[in-house]
Amino acid sequence: MSAQPEFDANRNLLTLGGSQLVFHCHHYNLHLQRTVDEALGADAGRALQRSAAGESARRMLSTLFAGQPREERLASASTLFSQLGFGLSDITSLSESGGRVVLVTSHYAVGWRSKWGEPPRAVCHFATGYWAGALSAATGLEPERIVADEVQCAAAGAESCIIELEVR
């Protein structure tokens, strides 16, 4: 799978798998996350961000996975997650029927702690949605059949972030 974004120098657009990529830093990412959480309420904000991450990741990965052997897809999603700067994911406990992803590092957890210290709850909403979208794209299952939750978060003091994924 080619995971190299293409830069269109005429329009200044960066694309990967037909999806547009944009550079942004942890200050913007975390501030926007907190803005959404505060505007909508923590639960609704988290749900929106997970859903948006799942939808956008699934769209990109479904294109990238086309023609790729099924058994390689989750590893590709992990490699891409790192290349894009979202963190280092250990997927040894993840299969097509679900499991867990351990984020050894997480952009959102590292960023939150560096900006504001320890949060009251898990903050890796994007990563949680990304992995739900990746599992959906890898298996072809409808996104509604995949439930993902971040059960511990390094930003909140845990050793690592853990995302559990269940296929219904």
Partner 1 sequence: MSVDELKIVQAVSGLGIAGNDEGLIPAFGLYLTKHLADYYNRISFATARRLEKQGLAEDGRTLLIEAGHVCAFNTFGGIMMSAEWDAVVQPMIQTREDWIRGMVGVVNAFGWGRWSVGQLEPNERLTISIDDSYEARGWIRDYPQSDVPRCYLASGGVAGLMNLLYIGDITSRPALTEEYYTKLFREGDHFVAREERCVARGDQRCEITARRKSAW
Applying CB under 8 A, which of residues 83, 93, 118, 121 lies at the interface with partner 1?
A: 83
Contacts of 41 (CB under 8 A, 6+ apart): none
Smallest distance from partner 1 to CB 29, Å: 6
Q: Answer whether 112's CB lies under 8 Å from 119's CB.
A: yes
**C-alpha dist (Å) from residue 127 to 10, 13, 66, 134, 150:** 32, 24, 22, 10, 9
Per-residue binding string, partner 1, 40-79, x by CB under 8 A, is x-------xx-xxx-xxx-xx-------------------
Angle, vertex CA 93, rays to CA 127 and CA 121, nearest 5: 35
CB 21 within 8 A of CB 84: yes
Dist. CA 5–CA 146, nearest whole Å? 27
131 contacts partner 1 (rule: CB under 8 A): no
Taking CB under 8 A as the binding criterion, the range among 108-116, 134-142, 147-155, 159-167 that sits at the site for partner 1 is 108-116
Please tell me the count of residues contacting partner 1 according to CB under 8 A: 51
Decide if residue 167 touches partner 1 (CB under 8 A): no
Beta carbons of 8 and 21 less than 8 angstroms apart: no
Residue nearer to partner 1 on the CB measure, 8 or 144: 8
Write down the least CB distance from residue 146 to partner 1, Å.
17
Chain residues in the site for partner 1 (CB under 8 A): 5, 7, 9, 11-14, 16, 19-29, 31-32, 35-36, 39-40, 48-49, 51-53, 55-57, 59-60, 81-89, 104-105, 107, 110-111, 114, 126
